[in-house]
Amino acid sequence: MKAAEIYRNTAAHVNRFIWSRRMQRVKMAALGQHTNDGWIARIMIYFLLSVLAYLYLQPLFYIVSTMFKNLNDLLDPTVKWIPRTIDLENLRTAWLGLNYPEAFMNTITIALACSVIQVFICAMTGYALAKLPFPGKGIVTFLIMLTFLVPPQIIIIPLYVVYSKLGLLNTPLVFIIPAFLGQGIRSALFIIIFRQFFKTQPATLEEAAKLDGASSGRLFFKIMLPLARSACLVVFLFSFIWYWNMYYEPSMFLQNDYLPLSISLNRLDEVLTGLPKGYVDAVLGSNPVSEAPKMAAAFLIIFPPLLVYVFLQRWFVEGIERTGLVE
Q: Which of residues 66-85 bind other proteins (CB under 8 A)?
A: 66
Which helix H or strand E contains 219, and what residues bound it?
none
Alpha helix stretches (DSSP H) within 99-202: 100-131, 137-149, 152-166, 173-180, 187-199
Residue closer to other proteins, measured from CB, 7 or 47? 47
By CB under 8 A, the count of residues binding other proteins is: 88
Measure the CA–CA gap between 290 and 249, rounded to whole angstroms: 26
Work out whether 35 is an interface residue with other proteins (CB under 8 A): yes
**Interface with other proteins in residues 156-185 (CB under 8 A):** 157-159, 162, 178, 180-183
Looking at 248, 255, 257, 279, which residue binds other proteins (CB under 8 A)?
248
285 to 3, 73, 278, 281, 305: CA distances (angstroms): 93, 20, 10, 5, 30
Looking at 57, 75, 88, 289, which residue binds other proteins (CB under 8 A)?
57
Residue closer to other proteins, measured from CB, 60 or 96? 60
The interface mask with other proteins, positions 82-121, x = CB under 8 A, is: ---------------------------------------x
**Interface with other proteins in residues 203-222 (CB under 8 A):** 216, 220
DSSP annotation string for 287-324: -HHHHHHHHHHHHHHHHHHHHHHHHHHHHHHHHHHHH-
Find, among 63, 253, 80, the residue nearest to 170 by Cα.
Answer: 253
Residue 13 CB, nearest approach to other proteins (Å): 29
Residue closer to other proteins, measured from CB, 87 or 239? 239
Residue closer to other proteins, measured from CB, 17 or 46? 46
Work out whether 326 is an interface residue with other proteins (CB under 8 A): yes
172 to 112, 233, 242, 285: CA distances (angstroms): 11, 23, 15, 33
Residue 10 CB, nearest approach to other proteins (Å): 34
Q: Give SS3 for 112.
A: helix
Residue 257 CB, nearest approach to other proteins (Å): 19
Work out whether 278 is an interface residue with other proteins (CB under 8 A): no
Measure the CA–CA gap between 185 and 239, rounded to whole angstroms: 7
* Cβ neighbours of 141 (radius 10 Å): 14
Looking at 125, 175, 197, 293, which residue binds other proteins (CB under 8 A)?
125
Supply angle C-alpha 246, 251, 254, rounded to 5.
Answer: 100
Amino acid letter, 316 = F
Looking at 102, 113, 302, 315, which residue binds other proteins (CB under 8 A)?
302
Work out whether 306 is an interface residue with other proteins (CB under 8 A): yes
Residue 125 CB, nearest approach to other proteins (Å): 5
Supply angle C-alpha 166, 126, 188, rounded to 5.
Answer: 55
Work out whether 30 is an interface residue with other proteins (CB under 8 A): no
Residue closer to other proteins, measured from CB, 87 or 117? 117
**Interface with other proteins in residues 37-56 (CB under 8 A):** 42, 45-46, 48-49, 52-53, 55-56
Handedness of CA 28, 34, 37, 41 (dihedral sign): positive
Looking at 17, 62, 279, 311, which residue binds other proteins (CB under 8 A)?
62
Residue closer to other proteins, measured from CB, 87 or 182? 182
| SS3 per-residue string spanning 223-292 | HHHHHCHHHHHHHHHHHHHHHHHCCHHHHHHCCCCCCCHHHHHHCHHHHHHCCCHHHHHHHHCCCHHHHH
Work out whether 295 is an interface residue with other proteins (CB under 8 A): yes
